[in-house]
């Protein structure tokens, strides 16, 4: 009965860092190397009013080749299991073709998706956020997972909406 929250986004946007924040563990692999979190990682957390399950996915928004095929299948299964999807993008990088491809994939699945713009530390969140309007989603929710900025507010809003 705990809501399942899936974290998706192309490599290096900060999924594992956010997972660690949300679960206060170091179970997820955080690395500078894209795609290191190879399989689904589950954790239970309680940052806001109620507990939840978080799934850290890897493998979406990656090149569509054999190496990533297993990861993509795992990640897509995680999306099907989720009640809510947090779609992470990088405030410093802006919109990439991988973000656009993921947007189309997520839209097709018909789940509730929150666009979350990570790495807003040291950037102007309004300026950075404006670029993501081209994805055709709601305005991005600004966070800095590495500091925890905006994360409690985000999870509170997500849980309220479940």
Q: In angstroms, rounded to a whole number, what is the distance separating the alpha carbons of residues 6 and 55?
A: 5
Minimum separation from the CB atom of position 1 to ligand GDP (A):
27
- Position 121 contacts ligand GDP (CB under 6 A): yes
Contact window for Mg ion (CB under 5 A) among 12-20, 74-82, 130-138, 141-149: 12-20
Distance in angstroms (rounded) separating the CA atoms of residues 8 and 11: 9
Q: Among ligand GDP, Mg ion, none, what does residue 118 contact (CB within 5–8 Å per kind)?
A: ligand GDP
When asked if residue 14 is in the footprint of ligand GDP (CB under 6 A), the reply is yes
Q: Is 17 in the site for Mg ion (CB under 5 A)?
A: no
Q: What is the rounded distance in angstroms from the CA atom of residue 7 to the CA atom of residue 55?
A: 6
Among 7, 16, 21, 150, binds Mg ion (CB under 5 A): 16
State yes or no: 16 annotated in a binding site: yes
Residue 86 sits in the site that holds ligand GDP (CB under 6 A): no
| Alpha-carbon dihedral sign for residues 37, 17, 119, 129 | positive
For the chain, the straight-line distance linking the first and the last C-alpha, in angstroms and rounded, comes to 11
Q: How far apart are the C-alpha atoms of 142 and 107, rounded to whole Å?
A: 21
Stretch that binds ligand GDP, among 46-54, 69-77, 94-102, 140-148 (CB under 6 A): 140-148
12 contact choice in ligand GDP, Mg ion, none (CB below 5 to 8 Å, kind-dependent): ligand GDP
E strands within the chain? 4-8, 41-45, 52-56, 84-90, 112-118, 141-142
Q: Give CA–CA dist 16/103, Å, rounded.
A: 20
Contact set with Mg ion (CB under 5 A) = 15-16, 37
Binding residues, as ranges, are: 9-16, 56-60, 118-121
């Amino acid at each position: 009965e705990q809501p399942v929250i899936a974290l998706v986004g192309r490599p290096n946007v900060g999924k594992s860092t956010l997972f660690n924040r949300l679960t206060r563990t170091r179970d997820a692999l955080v690395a500078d190397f894209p795609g290191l979190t190879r399989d689904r990682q589950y954790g239970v957390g309680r940052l806001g009013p109620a507990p939840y399950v978080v799934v850290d996915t890897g493998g979406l928004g990656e090149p569509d080749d054999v190496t990533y095929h297993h990861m993509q299948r795992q990640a897509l299964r995680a999306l099907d299991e989720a009640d809510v999807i947090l779609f992470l993008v990088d405030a410093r990088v802006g919109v990439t073709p991988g973000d656009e491809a993921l947007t189309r994939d997520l839209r097709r699945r018909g789940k509730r998706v929150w666009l979350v713009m990570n790495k807003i530390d040291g950037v102007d969140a309004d300026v950075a956020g404006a670029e993501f309007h081209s994805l055709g989603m709601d305005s991005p929710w600004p966070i800095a997972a590495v500091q925890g900025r905006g994360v409690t507010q985000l999870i509170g809003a997500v849980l309220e909406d479940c």
